[in-house]
A and B are shown apart, each in its own frame.
Chain A
Amino acid sequence: MTVDSATVQRRVVPARLVQDYGVYAAVAVLLLFNAAFTDNFMQLDNLRTQLVQVAPVVIVALGMALVIGTEGVDLSVGSVMALAAAVIPLYLGFGFWPAVLMALLAGAAAGLLNGSLVAFVGLQPIVATLALLVAGRGLALVVAGGQLKQIHNAELLGLGDDDVAGVPYLVLIAAVLAIIVGFVVHRTTYGRQLVAIGGNRSAAQLAGLPVKRVLIITYVVSGVLAALAGVLATARLTASDPSAIGNLFELSAITAVVVGGTPLSGGRVRVLGTVAGALLMQLLRATMIKHNLSDSTAQMTQAVIIIVAVYLARERRTR
């Protein structure tokens, strides 16, 4: 029974609009609200603080968006952050760059493991990365000897504190990465293949796309970005604390991606939306705190937003 697909297209246009632009509108509304009702919110200092706080989430979420675009998920990102944080002090003796490089390599190795489990062993992404969510932090604690280590390396501390023409390094790095990931998704063979694989795996396979290679690269990218976020978090904290760094980051990242309009069913990656999604959650929480609402109220509000976002994304897959 073949129904002409043109006749089945009955998408509700407003829902589509809300899904595509809702997150930007929500960010704008929050900013306007704060400009009007919150004292000192729209001041440069406060905005800078908000951006610095959201930067690590954005970086992790960019990798997560790629993974989710392949119809997968990477639960290990928080633990990979901790792992990177634990690796840094081990190599700081060799200098700033070797330490950062080793941390990123640890992230790449974690991603390679995740990707191999998904692409070659055929495990479901949620299971494959769950293993490292559990084991990664354990490993990080072993590597760090279970201790918090103060950081004294000036370059690393500067990474968390300094700025270029008033723009903090953290924000700059997150912004540049967002632009790069956006370019990769929309303009490179890898990016387009990633979206195609997420959209229809068997069609991609029949079209001869390198499905396994793309999957592995994607998890490696996610691992490296998570490790970078771990390095930055360490710099901000001025200490390597593998038991605290990256805790629950996987959830913040997934939230940012989903709220940004990337469907969990894959086939679509919204980079700018992901950035806006992270920003929205950050602003929401800040707003509530400034108005003396409890943290739990903020969490519940976030939950409602996630459900709304998922509900809207659902529309896209009723074909």
Chain B
Amino acid sequence: MTVLEIRDVSKRFPGVLALDQVSLSVEAGEVHALVGENGAGKSTLIKVLTGVYQADSGEIRYQGEPVAFGRPLDAQLAGISTIYQEVNLVPLMSVARNLFLGREPRNRLGLIDVRRMNREATATLRRFGITLDVARSLRSIGLGAQQMVALARAVAIDAKVLIMDEPTSSLEPREVATLFQVVRDLSAQGIAIIYVSHRLDELYALCQNVTVLRDGRVVHSGPLEGLGRLPLISHMLGRDLAEVRREGLTSFSDTHGTVDSEPLLQAEGLTKRHLLHDISFAVRPGEVTGLGGLLGSGRSETAKAVIGALPLDGGSVTIGGKRLRHLSPKVAIRHGMAMLPEDRKAEGIIPDLSVRENIVLAAMPRLARAGVVTRGQQDRIVDTFMKRLRIKASSPEQRVSELSGGNQQKVLLARWLCLNPRLLLLDEPTRGIDVGAKAEVQSLIDELARDGLAVVLISSDLEELVEGADRVVVLRAGTVVGELTGDDVSEQSIMKALATGDSK
């Protein structure tokens, strides 16, 4: 029996078609995988389903009836529950209170019947395989147990459809196993589950069907059994397996030569709980080293770890033969490293400052005399880089937040290039910028590498990675699963490494 059916739902935001005629249906007792890379439209779809957004067109049928939830509470009352990545319960309240929040059992005086609540909470949780003191505050129990409380709560409010958004991203393996058991039990009870995850192992372990979203459209939908990992990945990334490698579509030249020189950067055994497991790789001057992997594979975290923006549990970073102690962005920059962060808005630009000040931000101390900013040299540098990178702004004094995404990205590149770095880490340098700027940024990367800079390139765009990188380190779930060099660098080989984890 089909519990939930989405038909041709579209949702438009200013400038973007976030969902384009998306259809999806879930049967009772089915576990349905929903996958796609960043910006594919998964979150938007979930938000439309749960009443956070209203669809522009299309229809949602729930238990055979057309529905349109005006707000999240309506969806919840109707029986569609969502469990988000981060548990969204009340940390300071007791486990039992969280479980019964909003529907606490009352005694004759209308007060909360704590004893009955605790008794029922204990019984409920036992069915989920957890025994704990339900009077304890939620935050005092492990994340896995919290996740379970969230699940128990979702089910207790009589859910017919359960949406789980990356529920395992912060769980230990043991907790994941318990969670899986609960998911299977729920599905056996006839609850339909939409399961969002980037971990292929989980999808194959739990789900019967899969829907792949890309750029707001459904690009594949069908049973998971019989669908290989490779085809699944190629659907997610949008690369046709049979597609021949088309030369020259990106603005990268072929290779940069000097592949056998001494490594400039050596990262060894980078380890961070839940995120990175013993990651090692080397980067040579004049070479573009790509970091490949699906969303959540630890690419950005690796880059951040290298420049000291992510405190590590273990591992070392060596640059130019010098092992860095007390790694921090300041130290990394002093040793000639620079990183273009993935999230331009949150970690890159200072919106209220001018283009000029954003460019010289990191170089300012070097351009000042006795702590007083001197404009002459600063203006020359800003002028040089605005011309070289073709930054389009009405003047250097224009506020950077008024520029387009591509120009903001160029401003950030200029910020790092004016420091004359030896190593440049670029996290998704061309995401969200227009085609023209993209080509410009790509040929700039190329030029920089040819001039002897060591470049680390992170990109979800396989084509960009293959054409741009001389060597690709493939990551999966925070582990290096392959390293490709020279002619071995191809879209197929990367996807193969992602799927099977051995291409060495």
Contact = CB atoms under 8 A, between A and B. Distances in A.
Contact of B352 (A199, A206, A207): A199
Contacts of B314: none
Given A1-B39, A2-B431, A319-B351, A202 B401 contact: no
A189 B362 CA distance: 11
A189 B364 contact: yes
Interface stretch (A4-12, A20-28, A152-160): A4-12
A209 B332 CA distance: 12
A236 interface: no
A268 B309 CA distance: 25
Given A4-B15, A208-B332, A188 B401 contact: no
A203 B346 CA distance: 7
Contact of B309 (A6, A195, A206): A206
B350 to A, nearest CB: 4
A195 B353 CA distance: 8
Interface string B358-389: 00011011001001110000000000000000
Interface residues of A, number: 32
Interface string A277-297: 000000000000000000000
Contacts of A206: 307, 309, 329, 339, 341, 347-348
A268 B352 contact: yes
A130 B114 CA distance: 37
A200 B350 contact: yes
A78 B339 CA distance: 43
A205 B339 CA distance: 12
B14 A2 contact: no
Given A196-B361, A205-B309, A5 B352 contact: no
A2 B404 contact: no
A4 B14 CA distance: 9
Nearest to B392: A6
Contacts of B373: 187-189, 192
A196 B415 CA distance: 14
A4 B345 CA distance: 12
B329 A205 contact: yes
A190 interface: yes
A15 to B, nearest CB: 16
Given A2-B431, A193-B364, A196-B357, A207 B309 contact: no
Given A187-B372, A206-B329, A208-B332, A4 B434 contact: yes
B404 A6 contact: yes
B111 to A, nearest CB: 33
A3 interface: yes
A298 B361 CA distance: 44
Contacts of B14: 3, 7-8
B405 interface: yes
Where chain B touches its partner, the secondary structure class is mixed
Contact of B18 (A1, A200, A203, A205): A1
A3 B12 CA distance: 12
B352 A9 contact: no
B434 to A, nearest CB: 7
Interface in B334-349: 334, 339, 341, 346-349
Contacts of B143: none
A192 B357 contact: yes
A145 interface: no
Interface in B419-478: 431-434
Contacts of A199: 350-353
A9 B402 contact: yes
Q: Dominant SS at the A interface?
A: helix
Given A2-B39, A4-B405, A7-B15, A203 B362 contact: no
Chain B residues touching A, range:
35 or more
Given A2-B432, A7-B14, A207-B415, A196 B353 contact: yes
A5 B14 CA distance: 11
Contact of A208 (B15, B333, B350): B333
Given A4-B404, A5-B401, A188-B368, A203 B329 contact: no
B330 A210 contact: yes
B16 interface: yes
A267 B361 CA distance: 14
A3 B16 contact: yes
A202 to B, nearest CB: 5
Given A195-B353, A199-B350, A203-B350, A2 B329 contact: no
Contact of A319 (B44, B341, B401): B401
A235 to B, nearest CB: 32
A160 B390 CA distance: 57
A310 interface: no
B362 A207 contact: yes
A78 to B, nearest CB: 29
Interface string A174-185: 000000000000
B328 to A, nearest CB: 8
B408 interface: yes
B403 interface: yes
Contacts of B347: 200, 202-203, 206
A316 B402 CA distance: 12
Interface in B1-57: 13-16, 18, 39, 44
A267 B408 contact: no
A204 B365 CA distance: 13
Contacts of A207: 329, 333, 361-362, 415
B311 to A, nearest CB: 12
Contact of B405 (A5, A188, A208, A268): A5
Nearest to A191: B373
Contact of A1 (B13, B341, B404, B434): B13
Contacts of A9: 401-402
B16 A203 contact: no
Q: Which of B16, B332, B351 has the most CB of A within 10 A?
A: B351
Contacts of B371: 188-190
A216 to B, nearest CB: 15
B330 A208 contact: yes
Chain A CB within 10 Å, residue with most, of B350, B405, B434? B350
27 contacts: A1-B13, A1-B16, A1-B39, A2-B16, A2-B432, A3-B15, A5-B404, A6-B403, A7-B14, A187-B372, A188-B371, A188-B372, A189-B364, A189-B371, A189-B373, A195-B352, A199-B350, A199-B353, A200-B346, A202-B347, A203-B346, A203-B348, A206-B329, A206-B339, A209-B330, A267-B353, A319-B401
Given A204-B361, A205-B309, 11 more contacts: A3-B13, A7-B14, A9-B402, A200-B347, A200-B351, A203-B346, A203-B349, A205-B329, A208-B329, A208-B332, A209-B362
